[in-house]
Structure 1
Amino acid sequence: MTDDTRNRGLRKMEEVYGWDMQDGPGEFFRYTADHLFAEIWCRPGLSTRDRRLLLIGLLAGTNSADVLSIQVPAALKNGELDEAALREIVVFLSHYAGWPMGARLNTVVEDAIRTARKK
């Protein structure tokens, strides 16, 4: 991949995650920056918010609370989802992903809201 591809991937990672990204070593990082973020996250047809909603649903459905703790605060910080929308996602996904996952997601959401309000 080119430097332009890497830079596009790093900028998209910054947008999605909500923090400064630095170039990283190894094949996994290369695939993450150059393919996933520079290509897949930048494709037309879905907004970043659309992709975030799909990802949050998938993460809840696969019981991936660790990654939800990255995606939920980023969505709130970036203004893609507000407090009311995040709380509604908890209620909705709890009925499809299961109540235990909903409880974990609720904790992630409430922690993100509490942290954002302190800033």
Structure 2
Amino acid sequence: MANETTAAREAFGDLAPALADYTDQVLFGDVWQRPGLSPRDRSLITVASLVALYRTNELPFHFRKARENGVTADELIELITHLAFYSGWPTANTALTIARTVIKDSGA
């Protein structure tokens, strides 16, 4: 995996190679591969957490990952709409702006 190009290696591997390794091997290797939840369920949970916590920097990546894991564009919008009542209107509005771009760019 050390020679493999990954999103983490491209994003910050030059600056923090150990963090890129942990991201690839522990987070997306061990944690995301655990059998207790499907990748789709993990994506829904992760996106909901990122929206609620206003972690906008991570949202584009995880919106795309959710789409790759079978979450539909309509489901992402429904998730954001639902969260507006729990995490607040500003978090939902910001997430919708990011989702619009990701969905438009993916062609779906």
Taking structure 2 as the reference length, the TM-score comes to: 0.80
In structure 1, distance between residues paired with 2:27 and 2:106: 27
Alignment of 1:1-119 (within 5 A): 6=1, 21=6, 24=13, 26-76=17-67, 78=68, 80-117=70-107
The Cα RMSD (Å) is: 2.2
Structure 2: runs of 5 or more not aligned: none
Cα distance in 2 for residues equivalent to 1:113 and 1:34:
28
Larger helix fraction of residues: 1
Q: Distance in 2 between matches of 1:73 and 1:36?
A: 17
Distance 2:73 2:105 in 1: 12
Q: How many residues align?
A: 101
CA distance in 2, matches of 1:83, 1:39: 27
For 1:29, the aligned partner's letter is A
**Superposed displacement of residue 103, structure 1:** 0.1
Offset, 1:53 = 0.7
Could you list the runs of 5+ residues in structure 1 that have no partner in the other structure? Answer: 1-5, 11-19
Q: Please say which of residues 88-97 and 22-31 is displaced more in the overlay.
A: 22-31
Note if contact 1:56-1:72 (Cα within 8 Å) is conserved in structure 2: yes
Q: Secondary structure at the match of 1:80?
A: coil
Q: What is the percentage of aligned positions where both structures have the same residue?
A: 27
One-letter code aligned to 2:36: G
Q: TM-score of the superposition, structure 1-length normalised?
A: 0.73
